[in-house]
Amino acid sequence: HVTIQGDAQGVPFSPTMHGVFFEDINYAADGGLYAELIQNRSFEHRDHLYAWKPTSDSVAIEIATDNPLHANNPSFCRVAVETAGAGIANGGYDGLDLEQGAKYLVSLHVRGPGGNVFVILRGANGEEAAKATLGRVTGEWQHLEGQLVPGSDVRDGRLEVVFDQPGTFDVDMVSLFPADTFHGRRNGLRKDLAQKLADLKPGFVRFPGGCIVEGRTLDNAYQWKDTVGPIWQRKQNYNLWTNRDNPQYHQTYGLGFFEFFQFCEDIGAEAVPIVNCGMACQARRGQPAPMDELGPWVQDALDLVEFANGPVDTKWGRVRAEMGHPEPFNLKYLGVGNEQWMEDYFERYLVFHQALAAQYPDLQIISTSGPQANDGYYQYAWQRFDNDVPADLVDEHYYRSPQWFLANSERYDRYDPQGPKVFAGEFAAHESNRASTLRAAVSEAAFMTGLWRNADVVTMASYAPLFAREGNVQWTPDLIWFNNTESYGTPSYYVQAMYGQHVPDVSLPTEVDASEVAAPQFRGRVGVGTWLTQAEFKDIRVTQGEQVLYEWDGSLDGWDKFGGDWSVVDGVIRQTSEAENVRAFVGDEDWSDYTLELKARKLAGREGFLV
């Protein structure tokens, strides 16, 4: 029985309750949401010629830096062509995959001794799918543009930039974009991926991270000013998530703060930018800026608000207007720092808070509660927020087991509704093998009932991370996977969609008496997290449609197991691992605090399990 007090006043719901967390991890930006198809278009990768090669042996290429397009974009490709019709080629991200009849916009900057420059789209076997003349080459840098419409589908293809006479040419900023981007924006977003985000009906978009805000060192920190203005003037950086498998992971900042704000506006979501608090990533031992060098970092935060909201006659309001948006973006939220902790953080945060609150008293300032799910530290941080450290919202992160999520659906029942609001800025249930599973998604859904019940405490929540490009993955699980032509959501995506698409106005007091409630039918594979008695379940089958997926024979063969050893003892499935093993799975938490046992019941007249 469910009793809802319909005449109660209830707790008003924040329209920002469910949002998305965007970070350039797993190739989420370049090679992902940002629709640019050319990789290393401006030769600024650590390996400057990465993804480029000559079209034939009659071409020699090298990197040059004399008299570049812009000081922020110092490298370009010098192409020495011996035979007419030759040049350089780029296969984008894992080969170009383009659609027959679709329009693609191509552009580049070039200078050289004369002649014409052409672009050609070729398929995997070198077959020509489209060709265009971009124009005449002169001794000065010129920006040339054109269109390509493939006469056939291109799979694993490449774009060639070729010259119709021998000579030495300089080439930079070679760009190929689908004309059909999300909301038809120039320099825009890949349509299917942006639509997947829009379909979640997010109340906010948090960007640009994540650890990427912090940087490995302060030189690598995300600087929003590097990401605005003409794309060939943006100062690029390597990506913090670069690793041995993806040594060339790079940030072009083609998807920059203007594009983020514009996307938020396009989908009706609040923008929630996070700025660096003058500290590099503590988990990577990055050093904080000394307190007497904090000024520029604080100024960047103030300038960001001006960029978003300032009149067009202010310095940064003018930059926004010149980019095509004279109206303010109406920024309401700003996060200071990502996962930073202890006194180094509070000392710096207080300086930011004072400056921001003085100049922008209506701005909602978000503080971080420190490293992910370190509850011991969270308690300390919250004591500070409840006493001497002001914040409108506090950002909590937790990447924990499905059991943790189930056991924590009442987490916020004990938070003070009068204190700062909670921004659950990054969360995801992590299986021990970090797979995206139905069980993880269900545990997140269960946990989120607690967010709704405490809508006066939690006003924002976002799953993390958002995207993963197949073959370029630094972190799992993720919400949305994609390759060049397809994208799909994990079970957790559908949980976020279910919640985001049904945000209520008010949360009413509700009582649930489960004693007579028929258990919902669970179809699919059952994970261990449930204690099942052999007597109760010996005749249970898991089916999907007509297909029998699982028939329990009383053994544990074929089950997903985690948290050490499991076995059937006296007819009951039990975890038999040593405490040590369990601790390895649950981290520093005291396992005995959790209710691991979930009552499973035989489902009268049905086939299935309640997990």
Q: Which residues are catalytic?
A: 339
Q: What is the chain's Cα-based Rg?
A: 27
Which one of 119-127, 177-185, 203-211, 580-588 is the stretch in contact with ligand AHR (CB under 6 A)?
203-211
Q: How far apart are the first and last CA of the chain?
A: 20
The secondary structure of residue 525, as a DSSP letter, is P
Binding ligand AHR (rule: CB under 6 A), the pick from 23, 270, 306, 456 is: 23
Tokens of 197: 């985000």
What's the longest Cα–Cα distance across the chain? 86
Which one of 169-177, 205-213, 329-337, 526-534 is the stretch in contact with ligand AHR (CB under 6 A)?
205-213
Q: Using CB atoms, what's the residue nearest to ligand AHR?
A: 210
Q: Judge whether 224 and 213 are in contact, CB under 8 Å.
A: no
**Comparison of 307 and 423: residue with beta carbon closer to ligand AHR:** 423
Which one of 153-161, 209-217, 256-264, 306-314 is the stretch in contact with ligand AHR (CB under 6 A)?
209-217
Tell me the CA distances in angstroms from 78 to 4, 69, 164, 295, 529, one per residue in order.
71, 13, 16, 40, 60
Query: Least CB distance from residue 450 to ligand AHR, whole Å?
Result: 21
**Comparison of 475 and 594: residue with beta carbon closer to ligand AHR:** 475
Tell me the CA distances in angstroms from 357 to 112, 225, 390, one per residue in order.
53, 21, 10
**Comparison of 25 and 117: residue with beta carbon closer to ligand AHR:** 25
**Comparison of 23 and 270: residue with beta carbon closer to ligand AHR:** 23
**Comparison of 19 and 529: residue with beta carbon closer to ligand AHR:** 19
The closest alpha carbon to 464, from 207, 264, 218, belongs to 207
Binding ligand AHR (rule: CB under 6 A), the pick from 339, 392, 396, 456 is: 339
Query: Least CB distance from residue 200 to ligand AHR, whole Å?
Result: 17
Strand runs (DSSP E) across 141-259, as ranges? 142-148, 154-163, 167-178, 204-207, 237-238, 250-251
The secondary structure of residue 164, as a DSSP letter, is S
Query: Least CB distance from residue 397 to ligand AHR, whole Å?
Result: 6
Query: Least CB distance from residue 23 to ligand AHR, whole Å?
Result: 5
Binding mask 346-385 for ligand AHR (x = CB under 6 A): --------------------------x-------------
| DSSP-based helix, strand, coil % in the chain, nearest 5 | 25, 30, 45
- What DSSP line would sit under 388-432, residue for residue? T---SEEEEEEEE-HHHHHHTTTGGGGS-TTSPEEEEEEEEE--T
For position 543 contacting ligand AHR by CB under 6 A, the verdict is: no
Query: Least CB distance from residue 588 to ligand AHR, whole Å?
Result: 16
Instruction: Report cis status (omega within 30 of 0) of the bond before 564.
Output: no
Crossing angle for the helix pair 315-322 and 295-309, nearest 10 degrees?
50
Tokens of 362: 């209506």
Binding ligand AHR (rule: CB under 6 A), the pick from 338, 436, 492, 575 is: 338
For position 456 contacting ligand AHR by CB under 6 A, the verdict is: no
Which one of 208-216, 413-421, 446-454, 603-611 is the stretch in contact with ligand AHR (CB under 6 A)?
208-216
Bridge partners for 90 per DSSP: 52, 159
Crossing angle for the helix pair 491-500 and 438-453, nearest 10 degrees?
20
CA distance 281 to 209: 12
CA distance 394 to 352: 15
Binding ligand AHR (rule: CB under 6 A), the pick from 87, 112, 209, 402 is: 209
CA distance 274 to 253: 16
Residues 210-239 contacting ligand AHR, CB under 6 A: 210-211
CA distance 237 to 255: 13
Query: Least CB distance from residue 213 to ligand AHR, whole Å?
Result: 8
453 CB-near residues (< 8 Å, 6+ apart): 412, 413, 507, 510
Binding mask 25-44 for ligand AHR (x = CB under 6 A): x-------------------
CA distance 227 to 235: 7
Please state the φ and ψ torsions of residue 306, each to the nearest 5 degrees.
-65, -40
Cite the DSSP H helix spans in 282-388: 295-309, 315-322, 342-359, 375-386
Residues 461-480 contacting ligand AHR, CB under 6 A: 464-465, 475
Give the DSSP H or E segment for 259: helix 257-267
Which one of 114-122, 207-215, 349-357, 559-567 is the stretch in contact with ligand AHR (CB under 6 A)?
207-215
CA distance 50 to 209: 26
Binding ligand AHR (rule: CB under 6 A), the pick from 44, 270, 426, 444 is: 426
Q: Compute how many other C-beta atoms are within 10 angstroms of the C-beta atom of residue 66.
A: 8
Size of the site for ligand AHR (CB under 6 A): 13
Residues in the site for ligand AHR, rule: CB under 6 A? 23, 25, 209-211, 338-339, 372, 397, 426, 464-465, 475
